[in-house]
Structure formats: structure tokens, C-alpha cells
Amino acid sequence: MCQALPTISNSVVSSLYGSLLPLPQPMDAWSTRASALFPWRTFLAREGFVPVMLGNFHTIEYSMQMCLCKLNDRDRNVANAELLGVSLLMEDVMQSGNEAFLFTEKDEESCDESLTKAEQEVAVEKEDEEQSSVGNIAPSMKTKEPISAYMALKSFLILWKQLEVFKEEWGRLKLNVEQINSSPYPFAAGLEIMYPAMNVIACQLGIGDQYERMMMENQPLLPPKGTSEVEIKTQQLHKILESMECYLIHVLQKKIAKEMTLVMSERARGEATLPIDVWKHSVMTENFLIVRPQIVESFVQQLKEHSQETDEEITFSKDHLKDCLMTLACDVMGRERSNFETYSMCYENILRQEHQLLYQKEQEMKGMQRSRTPSTTPDCQLADLSHEIIIEITALRAKLTNLEEENVRLKDEIRKEVRQEYDGLVRHLFASCFALKGKLDEYHISMNKTVCELISEVRKKGVENMIALKRKIGSTKKDDTLRENLAQKDQLQSLREENSKLERLICQLRTLSCWRQIVKQKQLQRSCATSEQVRDGG
């Protein structure tokens, strides 16, 4: 029912003429903006298929019956009680004659002005209520001013719905709770919403100390006498709005502080180093190029200058050859010297460049360390402490696990030792019990035998006395009947004795079987204990 009623009540049933003049999208038929911009189209979209007739109330009743049709008896009684409670509450609102404070779209545009005006209106209403009695308003409102009564009931229902919506939103924001029926919600709502609202009403009525005492003693909060439901829900809505506003302001302050911290850290990091990248020259690349000398070509050319050449041979003088070889040796030595100087210069330039880059990196690292030392040192210390605490907790958990295992093992050993110690005592106790039971059975049998013998002797004496008495009297009756009875009793007594002997034998057999069973149990326990010891030792 809680999910079906809002869906049915919020569904828009357009009129017959609404299809010709529909509302432009994305306008809602129930919004005040649509009513202000397109009043006739909004009226056609709101008031059902035939807007002029009063037939829409029957659809409301039908929708409620559809929601309640599948309920069982218990849920139907609960729903009936809820509807009856709402009806009685609305009658109370009509009798009180107070108008509810609504949180509309205009209040969203100017929140501060609406709150102050609402507080002034509530104060004026309370003063008017204190000055005028409720009894004069209640009878005349429903009969003489039906429009005012309708508006009062409508404003109260809208106020109630706003209160429930803001309650859910407040619980979701402040407590991270999706449902208001959860366990932390009632306590927090009573502490931050219900108690301040009741305290305001109680202070206005002059009984604020009573509610402070009830809050200190953790007693259930009840509304003051004479307070209407409209005032209670209005104060609760005010407190929820104030709490949500304070919470949103606090969240915004935290966000602004976080953003300012980030901006200041970026600015400090940017001001720590000078922008010298603009004046930096590009890094000189060392390209080592070895020029190929013309030693062989010059040697051949010099050798051919003072030579005589024919078709098959070339001739030149010995001095000319020596001069050419000397020139060749000088050219080779000059080439080696130039190569050495070139290589040395290249290596020196590379070392100087790498040294400069290394020095620059070292200076940058020192600057970064100086700039980050105040901010990173506590973080590093906190990380080290956290790591040490985690290691210590892990070691303690391992030690606790070992101690628990050792405790379980010691308990098992103690249980085994106690069982071994008391095993013999229990067996001896059982044997003694069985022996006593056998003796008691024998005593019972012997006592029964003795009693039967005494009874038979008394019976014999009685019969003899009766026979002697008959003889003295001179009775003519025979004594055969008495003698037959006596013989039967003797025969019965002999059978009883035989039965007692058999019972004695049965008792002895039972005792023997119990003794054998105890011996077998002892042997089985010994074998189990031996196998457990072998298993533990292995």
C-alpha cells in the first residue's frame, strides 16, 4: 500500500480536451509554474477525463480499494487503523483552526527570507491562538468556511508529506541511513529534531524545565497539553531545515578548506623554484667526426713527382725515397696527435656536461627536500608508526593463536588425566553397586522365604487348632477340606521356593554379565588410550 498509493495518486489523467491543448514538455501538471504559465491547460491535465463534473472522487475511492484488496485480515485491520488515525488527526486539525507552514518553491528561491517570515507568522499565529479560544473556531470552520477548512487540511497534509520527505533526506545525509526505521535513526532524530522542537513549544508555554528533566532522565518525549499537531510538525520541519542547512554549510566549508589547501600547496610549490627554463640554452650535442687524412694519396703523389716512369717500371732516387718516407712518418704522427686532441676535447666536454646535469639534479633534489620536509615528515612518521603497530598487532595475533592452541591442548590433556584417574574409581563404584544390588536381592529372597515359612507354620497351627476346636465342640463336619487347603498351600509354597531359587540364579547371571561388560569396557578403554598415546607419540 505504501508503494501503490503514491503511484496512483501521482498519475495524471488528462481530460477529453487535454489532448488538443497538452502541456508543453517538460512541464508538470502539478507544479505551480505550470499553473502560472498555462492555467487552462494545467486545469485540463489535472482534473481528469471530465473536469467540470465531480466524478474524480470515485476514482480515488476505487484506487484505495485496489490497494487494499489483496491484504489479509491483519494487514487490513492495520490499514484501517492508519486511515482512522489520519481521519481523527485531520478532525483535530480542523478543530484547532491553525494553518500549516508550507515549504514551497518560492521558499527555495529565498530561503533566509522565508524562514524569518515563517517564524514571524508562526509567532503571530501562536499569539492569536493564545488570545482566542479554539472552541469558537472549530464549529464554524467546517460549516461557514468550507474553503478555509479545505485549505487548512490541504496545507496540513502537504506539511506532513514535506516533513516525511525531509526526514528521509536528513537521515540519508547525516546518518547515511536509507530507511528511517533503522536503529540509529530514532535516537539521533529525538536528540537533534524532536527534543529541540518540543523544547521550543514548551518554552512558549512556560514548561521548558519539565522537558529538560525528561531529556536528562531519558524519558519518552510527549507533546505538551493543548499543542496542536500542526505546531509540532511545523517546529519539526523548521528544526530539520536548520539541521540540514548547518550540515550543508559545514560540508561546503570543509570542501572550501580542502580546495584552499590544495591551491596554497600548488602555489607554494610553484614559488619555490624560479622560472629559469626560459633562459636555458639547448643542450649541445657532441658529434665526434674524424676527418679522413690523405696520407696515402699524398705519399704516392710525392713519390711520383721525381720519378721516371716507363711502360713496365718506375724509377726514383734513394734520397727522394727517404724524403717521402720521412714525410709519411710525420703525417702519421700528426694524424695520431690530432686524433688524441680531438678525443680528449670530446671526453672533457661530455664530462663537463654530465657534471653540470648532475649538479643541477642535486640542487633540484635539495630544493624539493627542503620544500617537502615540513609536510612529509609527519606523514612519514605516521606511516612508520602505523607499520610498526600493524607488525605488532600481527605478532600479538599470532601469539594469541598459539596460546589458544596451547590452552586447548592442555585442556585435552587435563581431561584425559582426570578421566584416567577417576576411571578406576568409577568402575569400583559400579562393582560395589552391583554387589550391593546382588546382596539386596539375596536378602529380599531370603526374607521372602522366611516370611513364607512363618506363614505356612502359622497356617498349619491354625488348621490344627481349628480341627481340635471342632472335635471339642463335637462338630460332624469332616476335616478333609481344611487338609486339602493346607496341602495346596504347601504345594504353592514349594513352587514359590523353587521360583525364588530360579530368581537367585537369574540375579547371579545378571551380576556376572554386568561384571563381564565392565571388564570388556575397561579393556576397550585401555586399548583406546594406548592407541591415542601411540598416535600422539608418532
d(CA 372, CA 378): 11
What value, to the nearest 5°, has the Cα angle with vertex 325 and ends 322 and 326?
A: 85
Burial class (CB in 10 A: 0-12, 13-18, 19+), 192: middle
Output the pLDDT for position 411. Answer: 92
Instruction: Encode pLDDT of 162-207 as tens digits.
Output: 888 888 888 777 776 666 666 566 666 666 777 777 777 778 777 7
| 295-305 and 318-473 helices, crossing angle to 10° | 160
**Which residues, at least 6 apart from 412, have a Cβ–Cβ distance to it below 8 Å?**
none
What range defines the domain where residue 249 resides?
A: 106-267
Assigned domain for 379 exists: no
Report the predicted TM-score, pTM, of the whole model to 2 decimal places.
Answer: 0.36
Assigned domain for 139 exists: yes
Residue 239 identity (one-letter amino acid): K
Assigned domain for 30 exists: no
The domain total for the chain is 1
The alpha carbon of 238 is separated from its chain's Cα centroid by a whole number of angstroms, namely 31
| Strand 314-316, strand 307-309: pairing | antiparallel
Cβ atoms of residues 240 and 170 within 8 Å? yes
d(CA 316, CA 308): 6
Assigned domain for 295 exists: no
Output the pLDDT for position 282. Answer: 47
Query: Could you say which DSSP state residue 103 is in?
Result: -
Assigned domain for 231 exists: yes
**Which residues, at least 6 apart from 408, have a Cβ–Cβ distance to it below 8 Å?**
none
* Half-sphere exposure in the Cβ direction for 209 (13 Å, CA): 1
d(CA 538, CA 533): 8
Assigned domain for 99 exists: no
Assigned domain for 192 exists: yes
3-class SS of residue 309: strand
| 111-131 and 229-272 helices, crossing angle to 10° | 160
What b/e sequence results for 119-135 when a residue is b if at least 16 CB atoms lie within 10 Å of its CB, and e otherwise?
eeebeebeeebeeeeee
Locate cell 532524530: which residue? 189
**Which residues, at least 6 apart from 239, have a Cβ–Cβ distance to it below 8 Å?**
192, 193, 196, 197
Residue 249 Cα distances to 49, 104, 173, 254, 425, angstroms? 47, 21, 13, 9, 79
Cell of 365: 633534489
Instruction: Encode pLDDT of 246-291 as tens digits.
Output: 888 988 999 898 888 888 877 776 554 444 444 444 445 555 555 5
Cell of 214: 525528561
Which neighbouring-strand residues pair with 315? 308
d(CA 474, CA 483): 18
The alpha carbon of 302 is separated from its chain's Cα centroid by a whole number of angstroms, namely 100
**Which residues, at least 6 apart from 13, have a Cβ–Cβ distance to it below 8 Å?**
48, 49, 59
d(CA 52, CA 16): 11
Output the pLDDT for position 497. Answer: 79
Output the pLDDT for position 287. Answer: 55
Instruction: Encode pLDDT of 221-247 as tens digits.
Output: 677 777 778 888 888 888 888 888 888
Output the pLDDT for position 383. Answer: 84
Locate cell 633540484: which residue? 364
Peptide bond into 24 cis (omega under 30): no
Cβ atoms of residues 23 and 45 within 8 Å? yes
Digit-by-digit pLDDT tens for the chain (538 residues) are 344 444 445 555 566 666 667 778 777 777 888 888 888 888 777 776 566 655 555 566 777 777 777 788 888 888 888 888 888 888 888 777 655 555 444 444 444 444 444 444 444 444 444 333 333 434 445 555 778 888 888 888 888 888 888 888 887 777 766 666 665 666 666 667 777 777 777 787 777 677 666 666 566 667 777 777 888 888 888 888 888 888 889 889 998 988 888 888 777 765 544 444 444 444 455 555 555 667 888 888 888 887 888 778 888 888 888 888 898 889 888 888 888 888 888 888 888 888 888 888 888 888 887 776 555 567 777 888 888 999 999 999 999 999 999 999 999 889 888 888 887 788 788 778 878 887 887 788 788 878 888 888 888 888 788 878 877 777 666 667 777 887 887 888 788 778 878 887 887 788 788 888 888 887 888 888 888 878 876 5
Output the pLDDT for position 186. Answer: 61
Picking from 269, 248, 267, 271, the residue whose alpha carbon sits closest to that of residue 259 is: 267
d(CA 166, CA 237): 8
Residue 440 Cα distances to 162, 382, 495, angstroms? 88, 82, 22
Cell of 306: 721525381
Q: Where are the beta strands (DSSP E) in 282-376?
A: 307-309, 314-316
Assigned domain for 56 exists: no
Q: Residues 214, 215, 217, 220: what is their CA dihedral angle, to the nearest 10 degrees?
A: 70
